[in-house]
Structures are given as structure tokens and as C-alpha cells.
């Protein structure tokens, strides 16, 4: 595209010229949702790590975003148990994943 680094061209302009879109966040969402479905259908350490609670005091300041809170936000479901139980039914989980990914477009 022959854009010099000293040219004052925004990232959006470069994406428009290249006729492409930003897809990183959609890829991350897709992979996280599919991985959660895969992990929750197995009874292993990964399952415990995602659903488990850590005992002790909370750190000061704003709490970090958790894996489950991301999934709840993306699926539009405020109850974590509903989301986790939906992973056991593959058809229901696939429809939730498709709906969550369709919200980006």
C-alpha cells in the first residue's frame, strides 16, 4: 500500500484502503466460547479452574474481569449457572455461541 510511517494516516483509513475489518475481538470471542463448551463437557481440572472459587481476601481496587463474566456479557445472560448448564446441551450452546458472535456484525 506504500504508506510511509511519517504519513498521518489513521488505522481506520488503512483498514478502509485495504478493504478489511478488525477481526481480532471476534476471533477471541469465538475461541473462548468454543473452548468453554469443550471444557465444561469434560470432568477435569480445567472445569474446576473455570467454575471454582478462590478463598481469601480480595485485592484492593477494581476487580479483574473474569472468564465467566466475559461469557455472561457476550451471551447476554446474567446468571452464570444458566450459561454453564447450557454447555452440556450442544445444540443450545451452539445457538448461544452463534447469537453472541452475530451481535458483533
DSSP state of 6: T
20-38 pLDDT tens trace: 888 888 899 999 999 999 9
72-103 pLDDT tens trace: 888 888 888 888 888 899 999 999 899 888 87
SS3 (DSSP) at 7: coil
The whole-angstrom separation of Cα 33 and Cα 48 is 17
Domain ranges of the chain: 26-102
Is the overall model pTM greater than 0.85, yes or no?
no
Amino acid at each position: 500500500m506504500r504508506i510511509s510511517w511519517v504519513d498521518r494516516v489513521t488505522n481506520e483509513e488503512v483498514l478502509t484502503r485495504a478493504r478489511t475489518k478488525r477481526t481480532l475481538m471476534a476471533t477471541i470471542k469465538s475461541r473462548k466460547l468454543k473452548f468453554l463448551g469443550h471444557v465444561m463437557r469434560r470432568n477435569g481440572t480445567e472445569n474446576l479452574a473455570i467454575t471454582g472459587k478462590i478463598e481469601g481476601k480480595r485485592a484492593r481496587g477494581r476487580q479483574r474481569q473474569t472468564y465467566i463474566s466475559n461469557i455472561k456479557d457476550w451471551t447476554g445472560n446474567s446468571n452464570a449457572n444458566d450459561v454453564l448448564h447450557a454447555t452440556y446441551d450442544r445444540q443450545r450452546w451452539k445457538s448461544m455461541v452463534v447469537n453472541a458472535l452475530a451481535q458483533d456484525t
